[in-house]
């Protein structure tokens, strides 16, 4: 997930500039805080009920798994790529 996040931030900066990166950082941190507080509060995947999707923006979602002792962020998904298989 870290590599996805770094790549996404670089892409946003290259395309839209630093100000947009900072706004995205704020949004993604707010979503991660919400995931930590309410891990069951986001959409489950039909094909794998252990995975959940939290939307950060129209273009980006966080895919994560709730484990017994923690929450594992698996990756940042570009929603423009279509459905996650």
3-state secondary structure the chain: CHHHHHHHHHHHHHHHCHHHHHHHHHHHHHHHHHHHHCHHHCEECCCCCCEEEEECCCCEEEEEEECCCCEEEEEEEEHHHCCCC
Confidence check: pLDDT of 51 > 90: yes
Mean pLDDT of the chain: 92
Confidence check: pLDDT of 79 > 90: no
Q: What is the mean pLDDT of residues 72-78?
A: 93
Label residue 80 by pLDDT band (50, 70, 90).
confident
Confidence check: pLDDT of 74 > 70: yes
Distance CA 73, CA 64 (A): 4
What pLDDT is stored for residue 85 in this prediction? 61
Confidence check: pLDDT of 56 > 80: yes
């Amino acid at each position: 997930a870290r590599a996805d996040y770094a790549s996404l931030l670089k892409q946003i900066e290259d395309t839209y500039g630093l100000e947009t990166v900072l706004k995205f950082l704020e949004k993604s941190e707010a979503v991660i805080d919400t995931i930590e507080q309410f891990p069951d509060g986001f959409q489950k995947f039909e094909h794998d009920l252990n995975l959940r999707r939290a939307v950060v923006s129209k273009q980006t979602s966080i895919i994560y798994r709730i484990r017994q002792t923690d929450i594992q962020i698996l990756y940042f998904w570009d929603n423009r790529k279509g459905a996650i298989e």
